[in-house]
């Protein structure tokens, strides 16, 4: 069954370009030109991925992303930002976007990212049966089920947050540098922009640490990266 992509942008040229290329790749494409319509489409169509422009009439992309994450909606979100919107990029990641690209963008690079995100989304939705669980103190991770429990409570993570936690769990006690995490999780060259890793680590800490200033699970190794404490 073909996967669905919701493209939210108020520029008709971008909607046309992405619709053509995504359909050519065998995807079902849904479009929306403003925020409220986009939220309606999410409920009606249940897309597998959302391409979300930040600058939209009425409700902007940041509000849409924030609203979806508050509802524990873990659909992967790739945000589109203008070249000079550095603050919006980081803010988008902080509220739960999985990735971002700046306009103008390479359609080939965007397609590569979309395909990678959809592959991971498909894996995220599949249960592969029982697998040995990984336990670290009160944290229990079921890698093949994409489930995380903290003190018996199910913790809702976005796909990228889960992949990052899973990688740390599988390598607990080992220091993983930022570039390794970047390439392993996002799967393409980010030209050294490791801030996306730092933001996702911060988001993870908000969800699993009692005190983010004194984490007991994800430890920062200054100048290198992160490790999951044994």
Tens of pLDDT along 147-176? Answer: 899 988 999 888 889 989 999 988 989 999
Contact 51, 11 (CB under 8 A): no
pLDDT at 1: 65
Q: Quick: pLDDT tens for 64-109.
A: 999 998 887 889 999 998 766 666 778 888 888 988 888 888 999 9
β-bridge pairing 147-150 and 176-177: unpaired
Check residues 117 and 47 and name the one with the higher pLDDT.
47
DSSP H stretches of helix in 25-60: 35-45
**pTM for this entry:** 0.74
Domains of the chain: 4-125 (3.40.50.2300), 134-228 (1.10.10.10)
Contact 52, 28 (CB under 8 A): no
Please determine, for residue 191, whether its predicted confidence score (pLDDT) is greater than 60. no
Q: How confident is the model at residue 129 (pLDDT cuts 50, 70, 90)?
A: very low
């Amino acid at each position: 069954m073909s996967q669905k992509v919701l493209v939210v942008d108020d520029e008709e040229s971008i909607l046309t370009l992405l619709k053509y290329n995504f359909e050519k790749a065998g995807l079902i494409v849904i479009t929306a030109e403003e925020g409220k319509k986009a939220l309606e489409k999410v409920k009606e169509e249940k897309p597998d991925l959302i391409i979300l422009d930040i600058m939209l009439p009425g409700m902007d992309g940041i509000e849409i992303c924030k609203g979806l994450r508050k509802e524990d909606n873990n659909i992967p979100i790739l945000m589109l930002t203008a070249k000079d919107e550095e603050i919006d990029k980081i803010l988008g990641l902080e509220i739960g976007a999985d990735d971002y690209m700046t306009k103008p963008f390479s359609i080939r690079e965007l397609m590569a990212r979309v395909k990678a995100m959809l592959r991971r989304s498909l894996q995220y939705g599949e249960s592969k049966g029982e697998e040995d669980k990984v336990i670290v103190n009160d944290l229990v991770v079921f890698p093949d089920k994409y489930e995380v429990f903290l003190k018996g409570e199910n913790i809702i993570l976005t796909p990228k947050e889960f992949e990052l936690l899973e990688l740390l769990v599988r390598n607990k006690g080992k220091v993983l540098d930022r570039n390794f995490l970047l390439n392993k999780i996002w799967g393409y060259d980010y030209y050294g922009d490791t801030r996306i890793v730092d933001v996702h680590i911060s988001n993870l800490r908000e969800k699993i640490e009692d005190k983010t200033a004194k984490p007991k699970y994800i430890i920062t190794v200054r100048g290198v990266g992160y490790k999951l404490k044994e």
